[in-house]
């Protein structure tokens, strides 16, 4: 089965319209489907925010990934999606002194097919997110859907050109003939020969048949 590879570059630029009523840390979580019901989880760094400055959050982070597998597995990737989640975490530890789990604020997804079908297999734009039903926000910002600016790029390395058996044999035959011509049997020593021309040609012919 033929092997293939895909290189993916995922960029999380920033988000807007993400007001919350409580101060805490905001970050983006991504789930990349890689086929066979498997997916990779990526998290951006956490940025402390409050209801005074959360209208726009800048991460500008880039993740580079490479996936190797059968060509059929790579082709099925087009049927999968990239899921983006905007999450909030309290910066205050719980009663046990541990970091609190994060809360989903909004989410969106981009089909891999959109990336493969794009020019140069690359996209970068704003995508609107669906706000989680339990999200708390002020009245003004609840009317504005959260948006995430993302970029996705796919690179499929060119496979080395396959050389046919006939071409391989032709190159080997030419290489052997070059070595024979340089041994001094054809033109050196005043037209004489320091080795047996016929024997060398016979060996070359026999090897070519093998």
pLDDT of residue 44: 95
**Could you tell me which residue, 120 or 97, shows the higher pLDDT?**
120
Same domain flag for 134 and 203: no
pLDDT of residue 188: 46
Residue 126: pLDDT band (50, 70, 90) is very high
Number of domains composing the chain? 2
CA–CA dist 71, 3 (Å, integer): 6
| pLDDT for 193 beyond 70 | no
| Average pLDDT over every residue of 183-192 | 47
> In the listed set 155, 174, 201, which residue is the last one of a domain according to the structure?
155
| pLDDT for 178 beyond 90 | no
Residue-range definition of the domain harbouring residue 199: 165-209
pLDDT of residue 145: 85
| pLDDT for 82 beyond 60 | yes
Q: Which of 133-142, 144-153, 192-201 has the highest mean pLDDT?
A: 144-153
pLDDT of residue 13: 95
Same domain flag for 25 and 80: yes
Among residues of the chain, what percentage have pLDDT more than 70? 59
Same domain flag for 44 and 70: yes
Same domain flag for 137 and 191: no
Same domain flag for 119 and 92: yes
Same domain flag for 94 and 191: no
Same domain flag for 200 and 144: no
* 107 within domain boundaries: yes
**Could you tell me which residue, 144 or 160, shows the higher pLDDT?**
144
Same domain flag for 178 and 198: yes
Same domain flag for 91 and 172: no
| pLDDT for 103 beyond 70 | yes
| pLDDT for 148 beyond 70 | yes
| pLDDT for 153 beyond 60 | yes
- Which among 42, 27, 23, 25 is positioned nearest to 89, based on CA atoms? 25
| Average pLDDT over every residue of 140-156 | 83
What integer best gives the mean pLDDT of the chain?
74
Same domain flag for 143 and 178: no
* 160 within domain boundaries: no
* 91 within domain boundaries: yes
> In the listed set 128, 155, 182, which residue is the last one of a domain according to the structure?
155
| pLDDT for 131 beyond 80 | yes
pLDDT of residue 69: 61
The 10 Å CB-count burial string (b at 16+, else e) for 68-93 is ebeeebbebbeebbbbbbbbbeeeee
In degrees rounded to 5, what are phi and psi of residue 89?
Answer: -135, 135
* 151 within domain boundaries: yes
The 10 Å CB-count burial string (b at 16+, else e) for 182-195 is eeebeeeeeeeeee
Same domain flag for 117 and 204: no
CATH code: domain of residue 50: 2.60.40.150
Same domain flag for 101 and 42: yes
| pLDDT for 7 beyond 70 | yes
Residue 147: pLDDT band (50, 70, 90) is very high
* 29 within domain boundaries: yes
């Amino acid at each position: 089965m033929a092997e293939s590879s895909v290189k993916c570059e995922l960029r999380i630029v920033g988000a807007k319209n993400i007001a919350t009523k409580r101060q805490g840390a905001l970050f983006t979580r991504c789930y990349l489907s890689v086929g066979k019901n498997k997916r990779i989880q990526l998290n951006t760094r956490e940025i402390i925010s409050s209801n005074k400055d959360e209208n726009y959050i800048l991460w500008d982070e880039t993740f580079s990934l490479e996936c190797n597998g059968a060509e059929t597995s790579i082709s099925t990737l087009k049927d999968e999606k990239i899921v983006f989640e905007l999450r909030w975490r309290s910066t205050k530890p719980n009663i046990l002194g541990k970091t609190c789990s994060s809360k989903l604020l909004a989410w969106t997804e981009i089909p891999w097919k959109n990336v493969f079908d794009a020019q140069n297999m690359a996209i970068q734009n704003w995508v609107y997110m669906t706000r989680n039903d339990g999200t708390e926000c002020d009245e003004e910002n609840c009317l504005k859907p959260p948006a995430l600016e993302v970029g996705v790029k796919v690179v499929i390395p060119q496979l080395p050109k396959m050389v046919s058996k006939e071409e391989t044999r032709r190159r080997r035959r030419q290489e052997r003939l070059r070595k024979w011509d340089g041994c001094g049997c054809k033109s050196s020593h005043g037209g004489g020969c320091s080795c047996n021309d016929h024997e060398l040609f016979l060996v070359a012919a026999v090897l070519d048949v093998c």
